[in-house]
Amino acid sequence: MSRIAEVAVSGTAYSFDMLFSYAVPEWLNIREGCRVLVPFGRGNKRRIGVVMKISEGDTSALKPLADAVDAEPVISGELLELAVYLREHTFCTYFEAVKIMLPPGMGVKVREKYSIPRNSAVQGEISDEARELFSSLACASGEKELNELIENYITENGRLLIDELCEAGVLASNNVFRQNVGDASVKMVRLSEKYLSDPQSFSLTPKQQKAAVFLAEYGSASVKEAAYMCGVTDTVIKRLTASGAAVEYDMEVYRHVEDGSEGSCDPEDTVLSDEQQKVHDAVLGQMFERKPSVFLLHGVTGSGKTSVFEKLINDTIKLGRQAMLLIPEIGLTPQMLRRFRSLFGERVAVIHSGLSLGQRLDEYKRIKRGDADIVIGTRSAVFAPLSDIGLIIIDEEGERTYKSESSPRYSTHDIAKQRCGKHDAVLLLASATPSIESYYLAERGVYKLLEMKKRYSSSPLPEVTMVDMNLEREEGNPSEFSRRLVEEINLNLKNGEQSILLLNRRGYHTIISCCDCHQPVYCPNCSVPLTFHKRNGRMMCHYCGYTGEPVKKCPSCGSEKLISMGFGTQRLEEELGTYFPSARILRMDADTTFSRYSYEKNFADFRNGEYDIMIGTQMIGKGLDFPNVTLVGVLSVDKALYAGDFRSYERTFSLITQVVGRGGRGERKGRAVLQTFIPDHYIMNLAAEQDYKGFYREEIAIRKVMVFPPLCDMCIFCFTADDEVTVKNGADAVIALMNVRLKELQPKTPVRVLGPVRCSYGRIGGRYRYRIIMKCKNTAEMRGFISRVLTEGAKLKEMAKVTLYADMNGDVGV
């Protein structure tokens, strides 16, 4: 009897993924949760894996592990179990599931170093091929050449013979593991002194020249930003640096995040209102019980949910346990972070994608060591390696960013529930506009519903005036601004109060369109119009990252009559200038905020009163607290209602309610103007009333009749391939297979299969896309079915060139 390690191996496809068993050599000291190096496949090439399980048994038929990366587990038992759950529920591979538990900086690369031990000569039993190989290797002039020879040999022939030689003791191998630790800073770039004093002495390529011109103008930028602005790759910037014309230096982002910390405050000093106290007591009471449970806090905008979180987190750590606060977007992090740092200091760890790899690794280590017992972060922070969780809070819980759109395609809510179950912890979901799914569960008593109906400041919710834009047009006002809104903005300017204007996302991008055939200019790889970015003068695709010079001719009809239009954006900007010439306007959009640093600075400047008006898309709509904002204008969100998926009403209602809720959060009462061409639409009316419950009743009725979540689950099967015929044939073959298997299975719960159809964006990144929707119940039986369809589907001949994944309750709209 010896030890067997069951390993999640990297680089496997779902259709042949499983745990692979290896013998653990006597000399190798490993435990469950350690990373290892394994020989894989016929050629025994090395791969990284994670040990999921160790057991005793007969290892005679097994290959031995090649080496261990870690001496101590990097993934705890709880998270290993969670990985198994993730695989079953999101149809990813074991390795994908364990990988998401680790910060990206922890990926390792292996380099093997070979040497020939002294006095070694092949003796005894060894194959002739191995003997022959050895004699050629023995001729190498030194270790460097030896290693090159072996590397080339392995690439071509696999490593069976090499392994044989190692076992025979005539070749020694040593693995060197290198972690891709990023640096704890962001790479910045500026022109060198030498270049600035004598540019003529450098001969630059046209692309480098472009970057140099940009840097001369802007002084410095991050490498990424410089590349973006010049429409070149990072490599061009790197070459510029290599030539000596520019220098790279580190910018400590971490410091940057902390800069604004407002001194220290004591959570004990906050006094909760009666409503807040009640909510707090209910949750704390449950924490004392030490039984897992879920609360849904429905609190109107400005009801002071954050203060309740602070108190509860303080209580959690006083109980000696740990707390997690999840927020939907990185843009909201700094404000929240600053507040929590001033309350809890170094006990807070932050995890979000805006941090460099090195920073994320640092934070991960602080959590793992137990130095940080409060974790704040976006979606993936839910996997933070806390060991004794008492409380998980999901703020703005209705946001779709909590659902992962890439493998593993998990729902943060599910993972949080799993972890609370393991830790006997409480999950608190909170929002002014909960998702229909969550509210439905609260209504049925699965979640405990808590409510805060009043604003903390006890000022009422903003009063909303709806403006019928059809009437404006009839009465001769062709502008983007209703007369009412202009009046209100002027009033605010006069009183020195701030205003926020919300635009539809689509209306915020400038696209190029043809006056003759009325076609927009599409991305060459995607069925998505390119958007024009004024700042770098280029056309860009937001889906695949394509960039190009603006076109002069319509690609569809050859006409040269092209206009740029942003569904009114440009006109809107001009009008803003003419109506409010003296106003200080902050524009927040993808173009001006591509840098994650400018987010924070812009919001801080606005908060400090350096601007009168902030205009932007959903990103300004949620979660932010600006006490001096008293007016909110919703310019055009009509289109969002018709986005074409069953969640578009929910999204639009939530967006309007949330943005209106940005107003009147301080002493003074807020007003809102809601401009629309469809004033009779009930969603508009409910949003104007900020009547969440009314909205919920209407929406759940529709979902019941139409059978949409939460009345069922919806599994999206997404197919992609290089050409449309291939992808369609693949999807057709899979649906045929599904129907056969469904007949055999006779599932216990109802199932409806719809499709295949072309996805709303039929082509992205050059890949054609089809989907099948399966309405079902997310039961073990159905998950088994889905897994089988994916595995068997991948083996169909029609699927040879098609990629397929399944996304449970993923978005239909894309």
**Residues binding ligand ADP: number (CB under 6 A):** 18
The entry of ligand ADP, Zn ion, none near residue 740 (CB within 5 to 8 angstroms by kind) is none
| 189-197, 298-306, 510-518, 691-699 -> range binding Zn ion (CB under 5 A) | 510-518
307 binds ligand ADP (CB under 6 A): yes
Does 201 contact Zn ion by CB under 5 A?
A: no
* Per-residue binder mask for Zn ion (CB under 5 A), 52-71, x = binder: --------------------
Q: Near ligand ADP by CB under 6 A, which window of 210-218, 248-256, 301-309, 751-759?
A: 301-309
Residues 6+ apart with CB under 8 A from 281: none
Tokens 């005036």, located at residue: 465
Residue 413 binding: pick among Zn ion, ligand ADP, none (C-beta 5-8 Å cut-off by kind): none
C-beta closer to ligand ADP: residue 300 or 415: 300
Cβ-contact 276, 457 below 8 angstroms = no
Cα separation, 153 vs 173, in Å, equals 15
Asked if 527 touches Zn ion (CB under 5 A), the answer is: no
Lay out the site mask for Zn ion across 537-576 (x = CB under 5 A, - = otherwise). Answer: ----x-xx-x-------x-xx-x-----------------
The nearer residue to ligand ADP, 273 or 404, going by C-beta atoms, is 273
- Tell the smallest beta-carbon distance from residue 374 to ligand ADP (Å): 17
| Binding segment toward Zn ion, per CB under 5 A, in 242-250, 488-496, 506-514, 619-627 | 506-514
The structure tokens 């004033």 sit at 679
Cα(240)–Cα(211) distance, integer angstroms:
8
- Maximum Cα–Cα distance for the chain, whole Å? 101
Q: Does 508 bind Zn ion (CB under 5 A)?
A: no
Length of the chain measured in residues: 814
Residue number with CB closer to Zn ion (561 or 801): 561
| Tokens describing residue 147 | 């290693």
- Name the DSSP letter for residue 45: E
Q: How far is the CB of 584 from ligand ADP (least distance, A)?
A: 23
Q: How far is CA 272 from the centre of its chain?
A: 34
301 binds ligand ADP (CB under 6 A): yes
Is residue 397 a contact partner of residue 434, using CB atoms and an 8 Å limit?
yes
In the sheet where 186-191 sits, what is the strand order?
A: 220-222, 186-191, 246-251
- The rounded Cα 439 to chain-centroid distance in angstroms is 24
Question: Whose Cβ is closer to Zn ion: residue 539's or residue 659's?
Answer: 539
For residue 525, the partner it binds in Zn ion, ligand ADP, none, with Cβ less than 5 to 8 A by kind, is Zn ion
Nearer to ligand ADP, 203 or 458 (CB): 458
- Residue from 427, 407, 386 nearest 76 by CA: 386
- One character per residue 600-639, x = contact with ligand ADP (rule: CB under 6 A): -------------------------x-x------------
- Give least dist CB 666 to ligand ADP, A: 7
Q: Which two tokens stand for residue 409?
A: 């395609």
DSSP-assigned letter for residue 479 = S
Site for ligand ADP contains 358 (CB under 6 A): no
- 1 contributes a contact to ligand ADP by CB under 6 A: no
Nearest-angstrom CA–CA distance, 358 and 182: 4
**Is beta strand 585-588 parallel, antiparallel or unpaired with respect to 613-616?**
parallel
What is the per-residue binding string for ligand ADP in 769-788, x denoting contact by CB under 6 A? --------------------
Crossing angle of helices 692-706 and 436-443, in 10° steps, is: 90
Contact call for residue 272 and ligand ADP (CB under 6 A): yes
The footprint of Zn ion on residues 660-719 (CB under 5 A) is: none
Name the residue nearer to ligand ADP (CB basis): 256 or 669.
669
Using the contact rule CB under 6 A, the part of the chain among 140-148, 271-279, 324-332, 752-760 near ligand ADP is 271-279
Indicate which of ligand ADP, Zn ion, none lies near residue 517 (CB less than 5 to 8 Å, by partner kind): Zn ion
3-state secondary structure of 666: coil
Tell me how far, at minimum, the Cβ of 527 lies from Zn ion, in Å: 9
| N-term to C-term CA, the chain | 53
345: amino acid identity, one letter: G
Return the one option of ligand ADP, Zn ion, none that residue 690 interacts with (CB less than 5 to 8 A, by type): none
9: closest CA among 42, 39, 30?
Answer: 39
271 is an interface residue for ligand ADP by CB under 6 A: yes
Nearer to ligand ADP, 277 or 559 (CB): 277
Q: How far apart are CB 411 and ligand ADP at their closest, in Å?
A: 23
Least separation in angstroms between residue 628's CB and ligand ADP is 11
Our CB check for ligand ADP shows the closer of 364 and 456 to be: 456
Binding-site partner at residue 652 among Zn ion, ligand ADP, none, CB < 5 to 8 Å by type? none
In the complex, the smallest distance separating the C-beta of residue 338 from ligand ADP, rounded to whole angstroms, is 13
**Rounded least distance, CB 551 to Zn ion, Å:** 11
Tokens 């992962």 -> residue: 404
Determine contact, residues 665/627, Cβ cutoff 8 Å. yes
Look at phi and psi of residue 33 and say left if phi exceeds 0, alpha if psi is from -120 to 50, else beta: left
Strand order in the sheet with 20-23: 20-23, 2-9, 45-57, 35-40, 67-68
258, 184 contact by CB (below 8 A): no
- Per the CB < 8 A criterion, the answer to whether 419 and 382 are in contact is yes
Quick one: what does residue 270 bind among ligand ADP, Zn ion, none, with the CB cut-off 5 to 8 Å set by partner type?
A: ligand ADP
Phi/psi region, residue 231 (left: phi>0; alpha: psi -120 to 50; beta: rest), is left
Q: Which is nearer to Zn ion, 543 or 597 (CB)?
A: 543
Task: Please give the backbone phi and psi of residue 469, each rounded to the nearest 5 degrees, phi first.
Answer: -70, -20
CA 42 distance to own-chain centroid: 36
What's the closest the beta carbon of residue 542 comes to Zn ion, in angstroms?
A: 8
**Residue 708 binding: pick among ligand ADP, Zn ion, none (C-beta 5-8 Å cut-off by kind):** none
Minimum distance from residue 428 beta carbon to ligand ADP (Å): 13
Residues 661-720 that bind ligand ADP (CB under 6 A): 665
For residues 50 and 85, give the distance between their C-alpha atoms in angstroms, rounded to a whole number: 16
Using CB under 6 A as the criterion, what x/- string covers residues 231-270 for binding ligand ADP? ---------------------------------------x
Q: Is residue 342 involved in binding ligand ADP (CB under 6 A)?
A: no
Strand, helix or coil for residue 736:
helix
Q: How far is the CB of 665 from ligand ADP (least distance, A)?
A: 5
Beta-carbon contacts of residue 616 (< 8 Å; ≥ 6 apart):
501, 502, 503, 508, 587, 588, 589
> Under the criterion CB under 6 A, does residue 305 sit at the interface with ligand ADP?
yes
Sheet of strand 498-503: strand arrangement: 463-468, 671-676, 629-636, 498-503, 613-616, 585-588
Q: Is 564 left (phi over 0), alpha (psi -120 to 50) or beta?
A: beta
Which residue lies nearer to ligand ADP by CB, 71 or 271? 271
DSSP 724: H
Beta strand ranges found along 570-645 (DSSP E): 585-588, 613-616, 629-636
Evaluate whether 504 touches 617 at the Cβ level (below 8 Å).
yes
Minimum distance of Zn ion from residue 803's CB (angstroms): 17
Nearer to Zn ion, 375 or 530 (CB): 530
Task: Give, as ranges, the residues between 428 and 467 that touch ligand ADP (CB under 6 A).
Answer: 456-457
691: buried, middle or exposed (CB in 10 Å: 19+, 13-18, 0-12)? middle
**Binding residues vs Zn ion (CB under 5 A):** 514, 516-517, 523, 525-526, 541, 543-544, 546, 554, 556-557, 559
Q: Residues interacting with ligand ADP, by CB under 6 A? A: 270-273, 276, 299, 301-307, 456-457, 625, 627, 665
